[in-house]
Amino acid sequence: MSLTQNLITLIRNKPVQPADLETAAMFTLDAVATAYAGSATAVGQVLKQWAGGTELDMKRQVLLMGALTHITETDDLHRASVTHPGCVVVPAALALGEKLNSTPQQILTAILHGFEAMCRIGSAVGPTHYKVWHNTATCGPFGSAMAAASLLGLDDEQTMHALGNAGTQSSGFWQFMETSAMSKHLHAGRASESGLLAAELASHGFTGSPEILEGEKAMFTGMCADPIPENILRDASAPWQLTLTSIKPWPSCRHTHPVIDCALELHEQLNEEEISQIEIQTYQAALDVCDRPEPENEYQAKFSLYHCVAIALLDGEVTLNSFTEEAINRTDKLRHKVNIIVEEPYASNYPAAWGSSVRIITSSNRTLDASRKDCKGDPELALCKTEMQDKAVDLMMYGGMTRSAASEICDTILSLTGYNIEVILFSQFIAAINQE
């Protein structure tokens, strides 16, 4: 059997426990809240203008929600695959689940299946792939397709065709970073839409390649210089990949989070002393993506280790307002005191662990150190339910919702447990963002 066929078998043989569904509901809330926040941004306004209300068909509405979920840099992150599964899988599952009148259990199970496919394939594309290709975009269609196949009740052969057609739509380059273009958000939206399309076509008998990953003219050959195919089926009995996914506490690239965490700790120790030097030790991928000493706009600031460590040291907090033009101007002096090096153990631990350290030398020659093996929001340092709800309410309020309405959505998604859990209707989300 092909890799995708074996992956389908692995996923469908994994037991689903009530706790897994509860965790899936938490990630659903995170994606919905993040999408609301994205709808209030300048990029979100462009997307909503394109959408023109609620007249889009379901797949284009899925594209819209997926793109909105990926704007504020507050969406989830799976470390081993370097993907953001929620912005791709959740919109497709919510939309199709509502259309089919699926039960909450079916929707949340589909989300588990989608995360599993996307994260396992993302873990197999190899580190070189990430230098040119955006893993969320290239591996995302597999996740959306797997979730949709679950809800559509596709058999294993139909699901194989769905994944084959999802994989042939894989795309998404990092080139947008050079000019801070908006393409990154399109990556998430198109990945969600493409997988849904692939599964719906498969339900009508439209075939796809069984060997879309390992074939001579397939994904690994064309897009991956150093693939790790064995990662797709490795540790079949491991916990669901969704439960191994991180939730972001701060609205910036996840590669900046360990240094933010360190800087927030050191902020409490500074006693208003002047900082003479800042040294960051991290891993190569963080430097590849976030080596931006002179961010020129909000988006570049979210991908700047220099700005993120500086704003955390200055303010003792990092919020959606920490990346404005005013904030960038305030960090100018401190950014020039930052030196970044790739260092062990962070270099070797990545991508299993995303860690970093920050060292500060003050004007009085006092040295302050902080380090993180893992980061706040990782499964090892998971956000508690209260922190999750606070984050979600803040994001939805940023998106224009009242606190009471935001709290009601949180209660709807999180208050019930196990097999009775409820999820927000997709149509409610689309209607709400178009009423603003």
pLDDT one-digit tens code per residue, 285-342? 999 999 999 999 998 999 999 999 999 999 999 999 999 999 999 999 999 999 999 9
Q: Quick check: 418 pLDDT over 50? A: no
3-state secondary structure of 163: helix
Reported confidence tier of residue 268, pLDDT bands at 50, 70, 90: very high
**Structural tokens at position 400:** 């224009």
Task: Identify the helix (H) or strand (E) that includes residue 388.
Answer: helix 385-398
Q: Quick check: 98 pLDDT over 70? A: yes
Reported confidence tier of residue 419, pLDDT bands at 50, 70, 90: very low
What's the pLDDT score for residue 289? Answer: 93
Contact (CB, 8 A) for 308 and 259: yes
What's the pLDDT score for residue 420? Answer: 54
Contact (CB, 8 A) for 48 and 406: no
Rounded mean pLDDT, 169-192: 95
> Which has the closest alpha carbon to 157: 1, 14, 384, 16?
1
pLDDT in tens, 335-376: 999 999 999 999 999 988 999 999 999 998 999 999 999 889
Strand partners of residue 370: 358
What's the pLDDT score for residue 417? Answer: 47
- Residue appearing with tokens 């426990």: 17
Please give the DSSP secondary-structure letter assigned to residue 418: G
pLDDT in tens, 36-84: 999 999 999 999 999 986 678 999 999 999 999 999 999 999 999 999 9
Contact (CB, 8 A) for 413 and 423: yes
Give the dihedral sign, CA 86/87/88/91. Answer: positive
**Structural domains of the chain, ranges and CATH numbers in brackets:** 3-249+380-433 (1.10.4100.10), 254-376 (3.30.1330.120)
Query: What does the alpha-carbon distance between residue 310 and residue 241 come to, in Å, rounded to a whole number?
Result: 33
Longest dimension (CA), the chain: 72
Reported confidence tier of residue 422, pLDDT bands at 50, 70, 90: low
Mean pLDDT score across all residues of the chain = 94
Give the strand pairing for 338-342 and 275-282: parallel
**Structural tokens at position 15:** 């037991």
**Structural tokens at position 260:** 């933010």
